[in-house]
Structure 1
Amino acid sequence: MDKLRIVLADDHPLVLVGIRDLLDTVLYVEVTGAVSTSTDLISHLEKNHSNVVITDYSMPGDDAYGDGMRLIKYLIRRHPDLQIVVLTMVSNPMIISALYDAGVAAVVLKRDNLAEIVTALSMLRLGRKYYPPGFGRDHLAGVQRNPIGDCINSLSPKEFEVLRHFVRGETVTLIAENLKRSVKTISGQKASAMRKLNVQTDQELVAFCMESGLFQ
């Protein structure tokens, strides 16, 4: 069976080094490159044949292709044969479900052992999708239930993306531009998210996201 040709994308250099060192021990893997921005990732894919990309979900600071769902959808649209493995701290089952619905082959949670990446690649090599441990096919199995967790898990994928950009310091207008939605739509989704999280002001919203580690 041919080797998996993999490109890595993460804005944390130590994470890239750790993953590359891990994959260098896997005989059926060839790492074609390691990049830290979505623009560099797209450029690498245009110039080098790769059939798998392992990318962080959150890589801020690149307006050309963005990150999160925006980047994932672009990759799937532009490179339909590419198998995408998403690394993320996000455990919201609705967000993970949305990633699979968009077409990713695997979601690996950063809180799990790094070796899960190898498990995910093994599943891909067998032509199967990989699901994080404890993540049932009903997308809800094993999810921790608590008041804060319930609030976070009630966020829709679109609301989650709006909050992720807002916490970075982006205005509603800029978020609308980046996500290709109207300002009215973004404002409504932000307001809906605030109701679900039971916060009344922007300051409370930012504090909630920071204290809960929502986007770490």
Structure 2
Amino acid sequence: MEKLRVVLVDDHQVVLAGLKDYLQDGFNIEVVATFATTSELVSFTKANPPDVIITDYNMPNDEVHKDGLRFVDYLVRTFPQVKLLVLTMISNPMIVSALYDAGVAGVVFKQDPLSEVRAALQAIRANIRYYPPSFQSDGRRDEREIFLQQRINSLSPREFEVLRYFVEGKSIAQIAEQLNRSAKTVSLQKNSAMRKLNVESNQELIRFCVGNHIFD
């Protein structure tokens, strides 16, 4: 089995050093690079894409790529062939759900045992999405599903119709013709739906709808 090529990103050198030593200790993993800034990571990945990027959620010292969801979304869109594993102290289900909506392969809470990083990489190697145990517990799962359902239920019937056709690949003009509405009305309804679902781009909207099987 080939070694899994991993890049680490964290603004704390102690975390980088400790995680690198842990992962390279007989787990068939090669840490090919470590970075303390997002700009360094992006430059490296453009020339040398790894199998997995493990990044901290909070990377506050970079004015170009920022941090948080904006940075995660940038990585997913820019390097679709690279799996993304996010490390975070934040266990808020709204934030974690948004990370999965953005397309990450997994989330690991920093307060969980270090062994969870290895478990996450094993799942990613098998092309399985990884969810942290504390987020998969009954209470967390219920909370996550309730939150997602609330977002979906907030859509009006007309907004729901517009999204259904949009996810099928129809343009605003085609949807307007199909529903006998003006293109302006359809565009406003799509934008309203995006705000309710907490997505900021057409790509995020499609990922959210498809990933949560809204129209299956």
Query: Distance in 2 between the 1:63 and 1:134 partners?
Result: 32
Aligned residue runs from structure 1 range 113-152, under 5 A: 113-136=113-136, 140-141=140-141
Q: For residue 52 of structure 1, report the CA deviation from its aligned partner.
A: 0.4
Q: For residue 125 of structure 1, report the CA deviation from its aligned partner.
A: 1.1
Structure 1 runs of 4+ off > 6 angstroms? none
Q: For residue 119 of structure 1, report the CA deviation from its aligned partner.
A: 0.5
Residue 194 (structure 2) aligns with: none
Q: For residue 49 of structure 1, report the CA deviation from its aligned partner.
A: 3.0
Helix, strand or coil for the counterpart of 2:123? helix
Q: Is the 8 Å Cα contact of residues 49 and 82 (structure 2) preserved in structure 1?
A: no
Q: Is the 8 Å Cα contact of residues 93 and 139 (structure 1) preserved in structure 2?
A: no
Q: Looking at CA atoms only, which structure, 1 or 2, has the larger radius of gyration?
A: 2
Query: Distance in 2 between the 1:76 and 1:45 partners?
Result: 12
Q: For residue 42 of structure 1, report the CA deviation from its aligned partner.
A: 0.2
Q: Is the 8 Å Cα contact of residues 60 and 66 (structure 2) preserved in structure 1?
A: yes
Q: For residue 139 of structure 1, report the CA deviation from its aligned partner.
A: 8.3
2:106 counterpart of 1:106? yes
TM-score between the two structures when normalised by the length of structure 2 = 0.63
**AA aligned opposite 2:3:** K
Residue 195 (structure 1) aligns with: none
Q: 1:45 to 1:89 in 2, by over 3 A?
A: same
Residue 210 (structure 2) aligns with: none
Residue 3 (structure 1) aligns with: 3
Query: Distance in 1 between the 2:104 and 2:55 partners?
Result: 11
2:88 counterpart of 1:88? yes
Q: Is the 8 Å Cα contact of residues 96 and 107 (structure 2) preserved in structure 1?
A: yes
Query: Distance in 2 between the 1:83 and 1:118 partners?
Result: 14
Helix, strand or coil for the counterpart of 1:107? strand
Helix, strand or coil for the counterpart of 2:133? coil
**AA aligned opposite 1:31:** V
TM-score between the two structures when normalised by the length of structure 1 = 0.63
Note the alpha carbon deviations across 1:65-111, whole angstroms, 9 max, x for none. 11111111111111111100000000101110110111000100000
Any unmatched runs of 5+ in structure 2? 144-150, 152-216
Any unmatched runs of 5+ in structure 1? 144-155, 157-216
Query: Distance in 1 between the 2:36 and 2:71 partners?
Result: 13
Helix, strand or coil for the counterpart of 2:41? helix
Aligned residues with identical type, % of pairs: 47
Q: How many residues align?
A: 145
Query: Distance in 1 between the 2:115 and 2:38 partners?
Result: 24
Residue 49 (structure 1) aligns with: 49
Q: 1:38 to 1:122 in 2, by over 3 A?
A: same
**AA aligned opposite 2:9:** A
Query: Distance in 2 between the 1:80 and 1:10 partners?
Result: 21
Query: Distance in 1 between the 2:113 and 2:5 partners?
Result: 22
